[in-house]
Amino acid sequence: MDLKLIFAQELKTQLLQDWSEKELYDLIETPKHSHLGDLAFPCFQLAKTMKKAPAQIAREMAAEITSPLFTKVEAVGPYINIHFDGSKAGKEIVSGILAKGKDYGTHTFGENRTVVLDMSSPNIAKPFSMGHLRSTVIGNAIATIAEKCGYRTEKINYIGDWGTQFGKLIVAFKKWGDPDKVKENPIAELFILYKKFHEEAELDASLEEEGRKAFKLLEDGDEEITGLWRWFKDESLQAFKTIYSLLGVEFDSYNGEAFFNDKMEEVVTLLKKQHLLEESQGAQVVRMDDGNLPPCLIKKTDGATLYATRDLAAALYRHRQYAFDEALYIVGQEQTIHFQQVMNVLKKLGYNWADEMKHIPFGLYLKDGKKMSTRKGRVILLEEVLQEAIKMAEDNIKQKNPDLKDAYAVARDVGVGAIIFHDLKNDRLNDIEFSLEHMLTFEGETGPYIQYTYARAQSLLRKAGQSEPLTFEGLEDAESWDVIKQLRLFPEIIEKAWQHYAPSVIAKYLIATSQSFNRYYAKTKIISGDNQQHSRLALVHAVGIVLAEGLRLLGTKSPAEM
């Protein structure tokens, strides 16, 4: 039952026939405090046509609205606030959730539409740091939310496998590398070499030129250099996939920057043909004076192509390959100007679909208030954090529930879930100060708190030994109605999360829903043997459905026992 739709229909039928249901629906709000009512309609937009103060309109209209589902209609300032009959409305809402199960909250507005997501995109030959967690888990959650709304998704891991840094790494390996050490522990050894190159380059500037020359050999297909590059790439991908497996993240494509090497000349040719390419201090650029942006660099003075060239080639390829309706780039906000330039160039080339390309920026993980940097060695390795979180969860389980079956599997779900949820509960544009203490707290507004609430609900159902299907006949207490009102918001929350590309909307909703259920649990004897036990258990089951599906949308698991 959509309570907002019912209110909108009553407003239209009884008072506002000239308005559409959708116009009224979109204006209806949920009061911040439950004592003010379940829904509220603001009268500000009526003041101009009715030539009355909004508060007066609210008073007059509130007196005329009637419905068997409403127990109270009142004017609160310029708002018309309504209170639903919790027993009658609750029966419709909970019954609907039970009937739909995990499909509750599903939308269809994305059907026959495709969304391409460019996400994660770590650099080969470098360890997977906390800095890459945000793009990975935000992108994965947005993709899952999109699928819940009916979209087909293509998740692309645009691996950083090209650029001058690989010339530098090859120089470092040839100067100081031990092949046996690299074979034994590739990522760690290559990372040591990468840091050493930059330390030595500060003392000997000629190393930078050596790195550039090595990369030029790579671009030219030198056999030895290409062999080393391919080896570094293969080892890196294997290491990355171990982490993706822990996070429960999969991709449809691993086409990295190098994949587009033979596709960039088309971009240059198109730009030349439309007279958009200009020379600037020996480099080839596209000017963007009309967009108040710096020139977009297409080719350097030595003829080498750049990130923008590859991103333009990638955009053309992806539109041809996937015919996307939206292309989302889940990349840090420091790349905002870069994506504005890329999209501007595409529009100059006449590709109107560039309007459907969107940069989805996010803040940084900071360490001691500073940006993490692999070059300077100021980095925290994600795999180490995940393993520490799993161990902490495992220790917690041993203390509180030593006989739990599959304890390690539960610890993995809880530990990894704690890291993912900690990230996603934050607004994606905010920076996050790295703190293991905050990430791995298993109380308060955390992933484990949501998971524990779900496990508590499942425990109640097991304890009741309910064999026949649960049905909800209605409950009249205020606490159960508070829970039901939370549950009825789930479809709206999913749509809002998609509209704003904001998984935090769902994370915050899950916290509020868990808090509401736990208040209900504390005040109500759910298994009491009376004639309302069946309805109370049905409500518990509905809560479990919503929590499990909400956690799934964020990329975390919901263990039935903890």
Q: Name the segment(s) of the chain with CATH classification 3.30.1360.70.
A: 3-84
pLDDT higher than 60, residue 158: yes
The pLDDT value recorded for residue 307 is 86
The pLDDT value recorded for residue 377 is 54
Per the CB < 8 A criterion, the answer to whether 278 and 356 are in contact is: no
In this prediction, residues 142-170 reach a mean pLDDT of 95
Structure tokens at 492: 């709206």
**Could you read off the pLDDT of 404-413 as tens digits, one per residue?**
999 999 999 9
* Cα distances (Å, whole numbers) of residue 221 to 125, 209, 210, 225, 237: 19, 19, 17, 8, 21
Strands (E), 237-356: 277-280, 283-286, 296-299, 326-329
In this prediction, residues 457-478 reach a mean pLDDT of 89
Torsion of the alpha carbons at 190, 196, 202 and 207, rounded to the nearest 10: -60
pLDDT higher than 80, residue 87: yes
Beta bridge partners of 82: 39, 73
The pLDDT value recorded for residue 444 is 85
Per the CB < 8 A criterion, the answer to whether 545 and 397 are in contact is: no
Task: Please tell me what DSSP assigns to residue 82.
Answer: E
In this prediction, residues 179-194 reach a mean pLDDT of 88
pTM over 0.85: yes
Residues 464, 470: Cα–Cα separation, whole Å: 11
The CATH number of the domain covering residues in 115-367: 3.40.50.620
Residues 201, 195: Cα–Cα separation, whole Å: 10
Task: Please tell me what DSSP assigns to residue 39.
Answer: E
Q: Name the segment(s) of the chain with CATH classification 3.40.50.620.
A: 115-367
The pLDDT value recorded for residue 31 is 92
DSSP string of 429-496, one letter each residue: TS-EE--HHHHT--SSSSHHHHHHHHHHHHHHHHHHT--SPP------SHHHHHHHHHHHTHHHHHHH
In this prediction, residues 220-233 reach a mean pLDDT of 94
- Sign of the alpha-carbon dihedral angle for 315, 321, 325, 330: negative
Pairing relationship of beta strands 326-329 and 357-359 according to DSSP bridges: parallel
The domain 3-84 having CATH identifier 3.30.1360.120: the answer here is no
The pLDDT value recorded for residue 187 is 84
The pLDDT value recorded for residue 188 is 85
Per the CB < 8 A criterion, the answer to whether 284 and 268 are in contact is: yes
Residues 132, 351: Cα–Cα separation, whole Å: 31
Residue 84: enclosing H or E segment and its boundaries? strand 79-84
Please give the distance of CA 411 from its chain centroid, rounded to a whole number.
23
**Could you read off the pLDDT of 230-270 as tens digits, one per residue?**
999 998 898 899 999 999 999 999 999 999 989 999 999 99
Q: Please give the single-letter amino acid code of residue 113.
A: R
pLDDT bin (cut points 50, 70, 90) of residue 305 is: low
Instruction: Name the average pLDDT for the chain.
Output: 92
Nearest Cα to 516, choosing from 498, 540, 552, 549?
A: 540
Residues 418, 413: Cα–Cα separation, whole Å: 8
pLDDT higher than 80, residue 467: no
Which one has a higher pLDDT value, 11 or 380? 11
pLDDT higher than 90, residue 27: yes
